Structure 1
Amino acid sequence: MGEEQREVVHRLLRDADFDLGGDVLAQRPRLERLLTAHPLPEDVRTSTGELGGVPVVFAELVGTRALGTLLHLHGGGFALGSAGGSIGLASSLARSAGLDVVAVEYRLAPENPYPAAVEDVVAAYRALLDREGSAANVVVSGESAGGNLALELLLAVRDEGLARPAAAVLFSPMTDLTVSGESFRTKAAVDPNITAAAIRTRIADYLDGTGVDPADPGVSPVFADLTGLPPLLVQAGSSEVLLDDATRLAVRAAADDVPVVLDVVPGVPHVFQAFAAVLEEGAEALHRAGRFVRGHLAAAAVDSVEV
Structure 2
Amino acid sequence: MASTQSRAVERMYRAWTENWKNPPPDPEPRETDDHWGDLTAEPRGVDYIEVDDGLWLVPRGSAADGAALLCLHGGGFISGSVFTHRKMYGHLAKAIGVPALIAHQRYAPEHPYPAQQEDALKAYTWLVGRGFDRIVVAGDSAGGGLAITSQLAGRARGLPLATALLLISPWVDMAVSGDSFDTNAAKDGFFYRDVVQGLAAMYIAGRDPRDPEVNPLYADLTGLPPMFIQVGGDETLLDESRMLEKRAGEFGVEVRRDVFEEQQHTFQMAAGRAPEADDAISRFASWVRPRLEL
Give the TM-score of the pair, scaled to structure 1. Answer: 0.87
When you count helix as a share of all residues, which structure comes out higher?
Answer: 1
Cα offset, 1:248, TM superposition: 0.7
Structure 2 match to 1:175: 172
**Which segments of 5 or more consecutive residues in structure 1 lack a partner in the other structure?**
302-307
1:227 corresponds to which of 219, 222, 227:
222
1:2–1:279 CA contact under 8 A, matched in 2? no
1:61 corresponds to which of 54, 59, 62:
59
For 1:112, what is the secondary structure of its paired residue?
coil
**Residue type of the alignment partner of 2:121:** V
Cα offset, 1:296, TM superposition: 1.2
For 1:274, what is the secondary structure of its paired residue?
helix
**Which segments of 5 or more consecutive residues in structure 2 lack a partner in the other structure?**
none
Percent identical: 36
For 1:235, what is the secondary structure of its paired residue?
strand
Call closer, same or farther: CA 1:64–1:18 in 2, change over 3 Å: farther
2:31–2:81 CA contact under 8 A, matched in 1? no
Backbone CA RMSD of aligned residues: 2.4
Aligned-partner Cα distance in 1 for 2:110–2:16: 25
1:158–1:228 CA contact under 8 A, matched in 2? no
Aligned-partner Cα distance in 2 for 1:13–1:236: 16
Structure 2 match to 1:304: none
For 1:84, what is the secondary structure of its paired residue?
coil
How far does the alpha carbon of each residue in 1:91-137 deviate from its partner, in whole angstroms, 9 at most, with x for none?
Answer: 111111111110100211111111111111112211210112x43x2
Structure 2 match to 1:36: 37
Cα offset, 1:224, TM superposition: 0.9
Aligned-partner Cα distance in 1 for 2:95–2:189: 27
Structure 2 match to 1:13: 13
1:117 and 2:112 are equivalent in the alignment: no
Cα offset, 1:158, TM superposition: 2.1
For 1:169, what is the secondary structure of its paired residue?
strand
2:152 corresponds to which of 149, 152, 155:
155
Structure 2 match to 1:75: 74
Cα offset, 1:255, TM superposition: 1.0
Query: What is the number of equivalent residue pairs in this alignment?
Result: 291
1:45–1:60 CA contact under 8 A, matched in 2? yes
**Residue type of the alignment partner of 2:209:** P
2:62–2:94 CA contact under 8 A, matched in 1? no
Cα offset, 1:192, TM superposition: 1.6
Cα offset, 1:18, TM superposition: 7.0
2:6–2:267 CA contact under 8 A, matched in 1? no
1:49 and 2:51 are equivalent in the alignment: yes
How far does the alpha carbon of each residue in 1:194-237 deviate from its partner, in whole angstroms, 9 at most, with x for none?
Answer: 211211111121122xx311110111111111110011001100
**Residue type of the alignment partner of 1:292:** W
1:110–1:205 CA contact under 8 A, matched in 2? yes
**Residue type of the alignment partner of 1:14:** R
Call closer, same or farther: CA 1:199–1:190 in 2, change over 3 Å: same
Cα offset, 1:27, TM superposition: 6.6
